[in-house]
């Protein structure tokens, strides 16, 4: 079967979705939509598909759309996703950070279950060769018991980046460095290290005039007894430098670095594996150096899910656990850096708080 995909939101990463879809057999880009006509037209013309400024008009014109990739501002994911699920009966691909709040994730998955539909969270860095090789090493015991995990994200987002759109740099629709830029690395803390029990975090805003954090440091205590540390910032200047994760095990050490965890830099069980499991993202068109090649595998996974029932690799519980970990960092900072339990139903009062003034800018007007 052919899976017909439509895109809602034609911003920074939409072109990467379009090019990834074009590389996957059995998955077809059917239409694109953005409130700004010039953005939608550009991708529509480049990929020779219909373009719209209203997704409601798009669904009316093209009823055979199967899946919708929601690439709108993070704070709009829940509202857009729920309308697509409940109002139009389409499966949904949800870009990071999936949803801003765990309660939204519960509601969206509940709506999908009731309608017999599916949600596909995007965590493309799990597909990087270096990440896959380290995950294999953990499964096979090559590194031994993990003792320490460290994340370091040193990226540059100057004021002009946040000034590009009203949603950027807000707690309601964006979140700071942990929610936007480092969310994939927060996910890898779990994907590679297992369940985190408690965190202690401190946030600062140092490089831009925004309400959210652009710098975060944190300490983690894993359920396994391992410990971890996070250093993440968008206040590095003048460019992006590093997005790395390292694991110290009883039998060896692995370090994944590069611009977006794309290089296996140290792998003591087999140093020769480093070159074979590293990728050069710099040649990817546009902003792809940050996004990598993982979206192509994501669409292969979606094609396999509909084609032969292969389970999608990120399920509801997995996504929820990453979102709970994210909120634990914020809750700890709000408590003055106090140790905060991760497996809790408590949520940050700041992250994802409602703001209709901003939301109204990204809502499709009624017909």
| Ordered domains of the chain (ranges, CATH) | 3-124+356-362 (3.40.50.720), 128-290+313-341 (3.30.360.10)
Mean pLDDT in residue range 279-299? 74
Least confident of 70-79, 229-238, 288-297: 288-297
Give the integer Cα–Cα distance in Å for 30 and 66: 9
List pLDDT tens digits, range 229-272: 999 999 999 998 889 999 999 999 999 998 889 999 999 999 99
Q: What percent of the chain has pLDDT over 90?
A: 93
Q: Which residues contact 27 (CB under 8 A, 6 or more apart)?
A: 2, 3, 5, 21, 299, 300, 302, 303
Q: How confident is the model at residue 288 (pLDDT cuts 50, 70, 90)?
A: low
Instruction: Look at residue 14 in the predicted model and tell me its pLDDT.
Output: 94
pLDDT tens per residue, range 77-123: 999 999 999 999 999 999 999 999 999 999 999 999 999 999 999 99
pLDDT of 367 > 80? The answer is no
Q: Residue 185, exposed/middle/buried by CB under 10 A (0-12, 13-18, 19+)? A: buried
Mean pLDDT of the region 129-156 = 97
Q: How many CB atoms lie within 10 A of CB 316?
A: 16
User: Is 129 in a helix, a strand, or coil?
Assistant: helix
Q: What is the pLDDT of residue 280?
A: 83
Task: Report yes or no: 126 and 189 within 8 Å, Cβ to Cβ.
Answer: no
Q: In this predicted structure, what is the pLDDT of residue 197?
A: 98
Residue 281 confidence (pLDDT): 74
Distances (CA, A) of 332 to 49, 123, 316: 46, 24, 24
Which pLDDT belongs to residue 260? 84
pLDDT at 153: 95
Contact 264, 130 (CB under 8 A): yes
The whole-number pLDDT of residue 283 equals 60
Q: Cα separation of 245 and 229, whole Å?
A: 10
User: What does the mean pLDDT of the chain come to?
Assistant: 96
Helices and strands (DSSP H and E) totals, the chain = 13, 14
């Amino acid at each position: 079967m052919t899976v017909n995909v439509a895109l809602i939101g034609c911003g920074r990463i939409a072109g990467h979705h379009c090019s990834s879809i074009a590389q996957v057999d059995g998955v077809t880009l059917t239409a694109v939509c953005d409130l700004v006509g010039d953005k939608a037209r550009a991708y529509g013309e480049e990929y020779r598909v219909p373009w719209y400024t209203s997704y409601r008009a798009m669904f009316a014109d093209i009823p055979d759309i199967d899946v919708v990739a929601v690439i709108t501002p993070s704070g709009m994911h829940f509202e857009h996703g729920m309308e697509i699920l409940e109002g139009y009966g389409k499966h949904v691909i949800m870009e990071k950070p999936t949803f801003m709040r765990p309660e939204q994730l519960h509601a969206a998955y509940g709506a999908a279950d009731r309608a017999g539909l599916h949600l596909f969270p995007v965590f493309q860095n799990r597909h990087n060769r270096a990440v896959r090789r380290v995950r294999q090493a953990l499964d096979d015991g090559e590194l031994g018991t993990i003792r320490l995990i460290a994340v370091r994200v040193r990226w540059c987002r100057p004021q002009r980046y946040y000034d590009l759109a009203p949603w950027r740099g807000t707690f309601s629709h964006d979140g700071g460095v942990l929610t936007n830029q480092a969310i994939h690395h927060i996910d890898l803390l779990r994907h590679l290290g297992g369940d985190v029990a408690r965190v202690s975090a401190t946030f600062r805003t140092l490089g831009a005039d925004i309400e959210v954090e652009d710098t975060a440091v944190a300490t983690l205590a894993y359920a396994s007894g391992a410990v971890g540390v996070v250093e993440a910032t968008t206040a590095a200047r003048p460019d992006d430098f590093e997005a790395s994760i390292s694991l110290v095990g009883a039998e060896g050490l692995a370090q994944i670095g590069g611009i977006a965890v794309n290089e296996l830099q140290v792998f003591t069980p087999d140093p020769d594996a480093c070159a074979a499991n590293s990728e050069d993202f710099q040649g990817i068109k546009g902003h792809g150096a940050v996004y990598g090649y993982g979206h192509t595998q994501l669409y292969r996974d979606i094609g396999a899910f509909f084609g032969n029932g292969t389970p999608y690799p990120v399920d509801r519980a997995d996504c929820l656990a990453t979102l709970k970990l994210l909120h634990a960092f914020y809750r700890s900072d709000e408590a003055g850096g106090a140790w905060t339990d991760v497996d809790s139903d408590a949520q940050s009062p700041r992250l994802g708080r409602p703001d209709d003034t901003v939301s109204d800018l990204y809502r499709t007007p009624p017909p």
